[in-house]
Amino acid sequence: MATFKSLQGSTTQATCIVIDDAVTASGNTDFSVNQPANTLVEEVYVRVVESPTITSGDIGLTMGYTQSGSEVVGNTTGVDNLLDAGTTMVANAVFKMTGNANTSFAAFATGDATTAPAHAAYKSEATTLFGRIATSTAASVLGKLEIHVVFRHFHSI
């Protein structure tokens, strides 16, 4: 016979990483955040605090469980899920990465399979989540970004 237990529902918590000089003159800007145990990454937001400026090109964001990982936020066409063939990201632009063009995000089970896969962004142990901001051309103004990572907490039962 089934037994039942009533618990408080899952909750969310966000962590904010503020990155000064977010877009480098060349190369990548790498950062990391601690992901608590028994959580999944539900959403990632990027807010432009101070506009970066590049010669015409691309700026993109990836996040995963290795320095160059993309299990959580992937960029399906290279480095252009924040800026594509442009020169600047305007202050107070806000990107919701699950709905962003050219972005893949860790998927939920759909129920339409013989076996449901584990969620790629769920971690039962505390771990490090890595992020990378990449650009295709050098920046003349490095800008400032806020990266908000929303974690959904589950019970460890």
The residue-averaged pLDDT of 45-49 equals 97
pLDDT in tens, 84-94: 999 999 999 99
Higher pLDDT, 68 or 51: 51
Residue 25 has pLDDT above 80, yes or no: no
Tell me the per-residue pLDDT of 105-145, one tens digit each, with 9 for 90 and over: 777 777 777 887 788 888 999 999 999 999 998 899 999 99
Report how far residue 15's alpha carbon sits from residue 9's, in angstroms, rounded to the nearest whole number. 20
C-alpha torsion sign, points 48, 104, 39, 8: positive
CA pair distance 143, 157, nearest whole angstrom: 44
- Can you give the pTM of this predicted structure? 0.89
Give every CB contact of residue 150 below 8 A, 6+ residues apart in sequence. Answer: 12, 13, 14, 41, 42, 43, 44, 45
Query: What does the pLDDT read at residue 15?
Result: 96
Q: Where are the domains of the chain?
A: 11-108+120-153
pLDDT band at 103 (very low <50, low <70, confident <90, very high): confident
Q: Are 31 and 96 in contact (CB under 8 A)?
A: no
**Cα 23–chain centre separation:** 16
Rounded mean pLDDT, 9-21? 94
How far is the CA of 12 from the CAs of 41, 42, 63, 72, in angstroms? 10, 8, 19, 17
| pLDDT score recorded for residue 16 | 97
Q: Please, what sign has the CA dihedral across residues 24, 30, 31, 35?
A: positive
Q: What CATH fold (topology level) applies to the domain 11-108+120-153?
A: Jelly Rolls (2.60.120)
| 52-56-57-58 Cα dihedral, nearest 10 degrees | 40
Highest mean predicted confidence (pLDDT) among 69-78, 109-118, 141-150: 141-150
